[in-house]
Structure 1
Amino acid sequence: MGTDRDKAATTFYAHTVMTDDQLIAAYSTAWLPRKIVDIPALDACRKWRGWQAKKPQIEAIEDEEKRLNVKGKVLEAMKKARLFGGAALYIGTGDADAAKPLDVERIGRGGIRYLNVITRRKLSAGEIERNPESEWYGKPRDYTLSGNNGQQVVIHPSRLVLFSGAMPADDEISTNVWQGWGDSVLQSTLDAIKNADSTAGNIASLVFEAKVDVIRIPDFMASLNNEVYRSKIIERYTLANMSKGINGTLLLDKEEEYDTKSASLAGLTDILMAFMQIVSGAADIPVTRLLGQSPAGMNSTGTSDMKNYHDRIQSMQELELQPAMARLDECIERSAGVVDPDVHYRWAPLEQMSEKERADIFKITADAARQLVGTTAGQEIVPREAVSDALVNRLVEDGVLPGLDAAIEEYGKLSEQEPSDDELAAAAAAQAAAKPNNVTRMQAAANDAAPRTLYVRRDVLNAAEIIAWAKGQGFKTTLPADDLHVTITFSRTPVDWMEMGSTWEDEVKIPRGGARLMERFGEARVLLFNSNMLRWRHDEMVDKGASWDHPEYQPHITISYDPGSPDLADVEPYQGEIVLGPERFAEIYEGTAQSIAES
């Protein structure tokens, strides 16, 4: 019909550069462009990084980062770089001539005075360096900052932490007027954003047209030339609409016809979401993150999408942020008074492991270390000291035992605690003097370690609190405080006690809350709770030969055997902290077996 609309219009590509006014307008007035600019920058900075060094060094560097607001400045620079195509952090050291290269080695404690964010709108790139022997090959030799009153300051690139938006195809043939900088990330996503916004706007307009009343009036068109008729018609149906709106009654002439046309809105949501998915693909941000919604559909979790996205952010951190900040990081270390080539950092993962996952990895790592220390034909597979040092390094890197590095530094490594020759000689003499009937202490210990049945329990140290709770819930009688306990192992099969190992802690605290249930085991009324530590300890003993009479292990505390106990459905489980004492090893005897069997 003579319009410019062409179905094949999108098959022709033209490099159309968005002006700064257009970029600012899109970012300021539309939510999709703002999210596309902000979300990756925010996710790249929100978990930040963890320094790997000695504790005093870490504290000094982190204090310096807080003083300079490094995290906030980097986030601001990344957002502006993504929006405008480039931004920079100026490393302020107080030097008089900013055009000279920055000498990092001259920076002392407190040498960085400030960090300032400068966008490419105020920072013009100079001539591109074409000498392949130069550190700055392919980059501007200098930058010019436009200040107030027409003043211009030349800045050497070594004083800038440069952040670019989307990488330009080629500086030589690009139509980007901002030479030396990248493109805005909105440049390639703008068409997808406009299509999604247009679709949403059209759907919103369609909602108002979803129901249209149609009234057929005899001789309507022929009578429109009469001005009095037109005014009467308007007045007539204004009153009719008012009447219909009040009581749902519509008064019409006998010859008039009334009909209602309804538009179907089914499927519009799917159409809009299809456009949103195109925007998501263009921005390389999952729909769940872009729209802030939960995954929809059968068996949809969004885990795969978010994992890919987190991998992309990690790549951005390691391949873009870290190289760009290398000079700044060295300056920060020196400004914090830290000069150590071994100091480094790691980007914190965006998706943290749960406590159970961290504990599972800890257990697997510890078990693997024990296997390595095992012996073959009387010889250690791997020296105990080597495994100890490697395990400590792994635990420090994983952060599962806070303060371990400081404790190792204070108490020393295993290899540093080996007895001296004099100590070994004295121990051998003492052992020889204590031999009873030519049987050494080690032989006696071996005799004592003969297999036997095993019952392991931990007594409840805060039993009074639990008994008070039980009384409040209607239990007339409970087990005595001295008998409240948690069974860890009940092995009727004889085992070597010395093979059962030992626990990390002599006291276990089960935090408040979590899954708590009241159940009936035979005649016993028991409190069920979760504890990964107790489960692992139980599984460890079973792996080493201990037997268990039940299909699975469930930590619990027997509260009462009283048949007059209240209905457990009416009992609110105990939600307070549970404190357990050290493990107690004992052989199984008849009374113990009956008691445990009942619980």
Structure 2
Amino acid sequence: MATELKQTGKPRFKLTNDGSVIPTHDGLSNVVSGMGTNRDRRTYNRFTITSMNDYLEMEAAYNENWIAAAVVDNPVEDATREWRHFTGKIASAIQEAEKKYEIQERTQEAFTWAGVYGGAGLLMVTDQDFDQPLKVEAITKGSLKRFVCLDRTMISPSAYNYSDPTAENYMRADRYRINGGTQDVHHSHFILAPGSPLPPRLRLLNNGWDDSILRRCMEDLKDSVAAKSGVASLIQEANIDVISRENLATDLSSGDMDQDIINRFMNFGLLKSMFRLALLDKNEEFDRKQVSFGGLGEILSVLMEWTAGAAKQPMTRLFGVQSKGLGDSGEGDARSYFNRIRGDQEKKYRKFLNRIDEVMIRSTLGEMPADTNYEFNPLDIPSEMEVKDRNLAEAQTDDLRLQQKVVPRSAVAKKLRDSGQYVIDDKFIKQIEDDERAEAAGEFRFNIGETETTHPGAVNPPPTHSVADD
């Protein structure tokens, strides 16, 4: 029970049984216009949470509507299309392992279904028991068998972690059970692909899963699709024929002339369509009404903008249309979108892939090298001129660092080898490292055509002095 407190000139409040005080409206009111009072319709506006787990509607939208599919697919495709590259001696071995286990395909699959349902992930099938925590340090060569993608409709939490905030799975499932089976799966065997974030309380009500990316755009999607369908229906009725017939209401009310009237005007429509001939009775009048479509294009454009905003994608990416506006090429929108995708790669995809690499690399090499590292490739494919400009800038930077003597020549050679631009073997790099060690010890090695003054590691000898110079 709540007691309402009224004060003249002040906002009204309600005092609840637990002692909390809540306002009944905002502080600005006008009794003459009704603003801020019970007469103001705006005071009854209220956000409500719609159904969060209507899987059938989300599946139908994703499968039947190309815009709904693009809302989910585009960010995942852009984040994983160019993929990543490892550096170091183990790069080629890891890339072969990625192809063997189809890491790129499984990652795309997991994040796609997480966007549709709000939850999905990869089950790591190893030689360890599912009902026990996965011991990463115990992974040996050949322990990993495969990855299996499971969405939230295929696997259900059977136990939750509500009491240990220090664990990485706090407020999420502690154990899962595959639907239709009896096997318990510890959460460490399941790599979770996130959807849209939810407040902790709603995540708790949602069985530890995230929200669907598609569900958050559903209202705007429905408005856009309904408007497009309505315009398409109007086009079919661009011209409406109107025939005035004497005593039509009386004939229809009699009940025995309905079919005759229907046949009469169906034949009229057939004759007009086939022979462009209109036959009318002397007492009948014919008129044609034309429907105006002015302003419909602007309405559709606004709805498309709302849908693109809900999907967090630029119009050029979601609908494939050019940006409108004088001097607007869409590059700014594309840059902002790619910056968001790059942020998702570092925040979501890297965390997801690091869990995969802990098991995959150990299973491939038998150990986890300390220098294992990777970077995501550029999101867009650069042009030939952009590649040349970038290579020139990097070459100039490397040359400047060499002149400043802040990096050795062997570091530049290793960088070029790892980039794959040149075929540089370990023997050549070892030779450069031997030369650098000799130079550091004062033993200079010269190749054919080099002199002591032109060698980058040499020190110019002091000038000679003679009596004639005096």
Q: Give the conservation status (yes or no) of the 8 Å contact 1:77–1:88.
A: yes
Q: Give the conservation status (yes or no) of the 8 Å contact 2:144–2:360.
A: yes
Describe the SS at the equivalent of 1:115: strand
State the percentage of identical aligned residues.
27
* Partner of residue 290, structure 2: 262
**1:304-335 deviations in whole A, cap 9, x for unaligned?**
11211111111111101211332221211112
Q: Give the conservation status (yes or no) of the 8 Å contact 2:409–2:432.
A: no
Describe the SS at the equivalent of 2:277: coil
* Partner of residue 72, structure 1: 105
What is the CA-CA distance between 1:51 and the residue it aligns to?
0.9
Check 1:85–1:263 CA distance in 2 against 1; reply closer, same or farther (3 A cut): same
TM-score (norm 1): 0.62
2:390 paired with 1:358: no
What is the CA-CA distance between 1:213 and the residue it aligns to?
0.8
Check 1:238–1:403 CA distance in 2 against 1; reply closer, same or farther (3 A cut): same
Q: For 1:227 and 1:124, how far apart are their aligned partners in 2?
A: 61
Q: Give the conservation status (yes or no) of the 8 Å contact 2:194–2:348.
A: no
* Partner of residue 220, structure 1: 248
Spell out the pairing of 1:487-502 with structure 2 (5 A cutoff).
none
What is the CA-CA distance between 1:426 and the residue it aligns to?
13
Structural RMSD (CA):
3.3
Check 1:276–1:388 CA distance in 2 against 1; reply closer, same or farther (3 A cut): same
Describe the SS at the equivalent of 1:187: helix
User: Quick check: which has more Rg, 1 or 2?
Assistant: 1
What is the CA-CA distance between 1:366 and the residue it aligns to?
2.8
* Partner of residue 238, structure 1: 266
Among candidates 323, 327, 342, match of residue 299 of structure 1: 327
Check 1:342–1:408 CA distance in 2 against 1; reply closer, same or farther (3 A cut): farther
**1:456-485 deviations in whole A, cap 9, x for unaligned?**
xxxxxxxxxxxxxxxxxxxxxxxxxxxxxx
Check 1:266–1:404 CA distance in 2 against 1; reply closer, same or farther (3 A cut): farther
2:408 paired with 1:367: no
Q: Which amino acid aligns with 2:185?
A: I
Check 1:392–1:426 CA distance in 2 against 1; reply closer, same or farther (3 A cut): closer
Q: For 1:52 and 1:373, how far apart are their aligned partners in 2?
A: 22
Spell out the pairing of 1:71-470 with structure 2 (5 A cutoff).
71-95=104-128, 97-125=129-157, 126-147=159-180, 151-171=181-201, 174=202, 177-226=205-254, 229-337=257-365, 339-370=368-399, 382-383=404-405, 386=407, 388-389=409-410, 391-392=412-413, 395=416, 399=419, 401-404=421-424, 409=429, 411-413=431-433, 415=436, 418=439
**1:514-558 deviations in whole A, cap 9, x for unaligned?**
xxxxxxxxxxxxxxxxxxxxxxxxxxxxxxxxxxxxxxxxxxxxx
**1:165-205 deviations in whole A, cap 9, x for unaligned?**
1111123xx28643211111123221111111221221122
Q: Give the conservation status (yes or no) of the 8 Å contact 1:369–1:387.
A: no
Q: Give the conservation status (yes or no) of the 8 Å contact 1:161–1:325.
A: no
Check 1:323–1:244 CA distance in 2 against 1; reply closer, same or farther (3 A cut): same
* Partner of residue 48, structure 2: 14
Q: Give the conservation status (yes or no) of the 8 Å contact 2:88–2:372.
A: yes
Check 1:365–1:121 CA distance in 2 against 1; reply closer, same or farther (3 A cut): closer
Check 1:214–1:244 CA distance in 2 against 1; reply closer, same or farther (3 A cut): same
Q: For 1:144 and 1:331, how far apart are their aligned partners in 2?
A: 22
What is the CA-CA distance between 1:49 and the residue it aligns to?
0.9
Q: Give the conservation status (yes or no) of the 8 Å contact 2:243–2:286.
A: yes
Describe the SS at the equivalent of 2:85: strand
Q: For 1:308 and 1:115, how far apart are their aligned partners in 2?
A: 33
Q: For 1:304 and 1:244, how far apart are their aligned partners in 2?
A: 54
What is the CA-CA distance between 1:346 and the residue it aligns to?
0.7
More strand by share: 1
Q: Which amino acid aligns with 2:150?
A: I
Q: Which amino acid aligns with 1:31?
A: W
Q: Which amino acid aligns with 2:267?
A: L
Check 1:249–1:60 CA distance in 2 against 1; reply closer, same or farther (3 A cut): same
Q: For 1:43 and 1:425, how far apart are their aligned partners in 2?
A: 50
Among candidates 86, 98, 114, match of residue 51 of structure 1: 86
Q: Which amino acid aligns with 2:153?
A: R
Q: Which amino acid aligns with 1:328?
A: I
Unaligned runs of 5+ in 2: 1-40, 453-462, 464-470
* Partner of residue 484, structure 1: none
Check 1:294–1:133 CA distance in 2 against 1; reply closer, same or farther (3 A cut): closer
Q: Which amino acid aligns with 1:388?
A: R
What is the CA-CA distance between 1:164 and the residue it aligns to?
2.1
Check 1:365–1:87 CA distance in 2 against 1; reply closer, same or farther (3 A cut): closer
What is the CA-CA distance between 1:243 and the residue it aligns to?
2.2
* Partner of residue 8, structure 2: none
Describe the SS at the equivalent of 2:375: strand
Q: Which amino acid aligns with 1:271?
A: I
Check 1:158–1:364 CA distance in 2 against 1; reply closer, same or farther (3 A cut): same
Q: Give the conservation status (yes or no) of the 8 Å contact 1:211–1:263.
A: yes
**1:142-176 deviations in whole A, cap 9, x for unaligned?**
223333xxx422222221111121111123xx286
Describe the SS at the equivalent of 1:161: strand
Q: For 2:182 and 2:189, how far apart are their aligned partners in 1?
A: 16
Q: Give the conservation status (yes or no) of the 8 Å contact 2:118–2:211.
A: yes
Check 1:116–1:175 CA distance in 2 against 1; reply closer, same or farther (3 A cut): closer
Among candidates 16, 20, 26, match of residue 61 of structure 2: 26
When structure 1 is superposed on structure 2, of 365-374 and 351-360 the one drifting more is: 365-374
Describe the SS at the equivalent of 2:160: coil
Q: Which amino acid aligns with 2:409?
A: S
Q: Give the conservation status (yes or no) of the 8 Å contact 1:44–1:313.
A: yes
Q: For 1:8 and 1:193, how far apart are their aligned partners in 2?
A: 25
Spell out the pairing of 1:507-526 with structure 2 (5 A cutoff).
none
Q: Which amino acid aligns with 1:238?
A: M
Q: For 2:68 and 2:212, how far apart are their aligned partners in 1?
A: 11
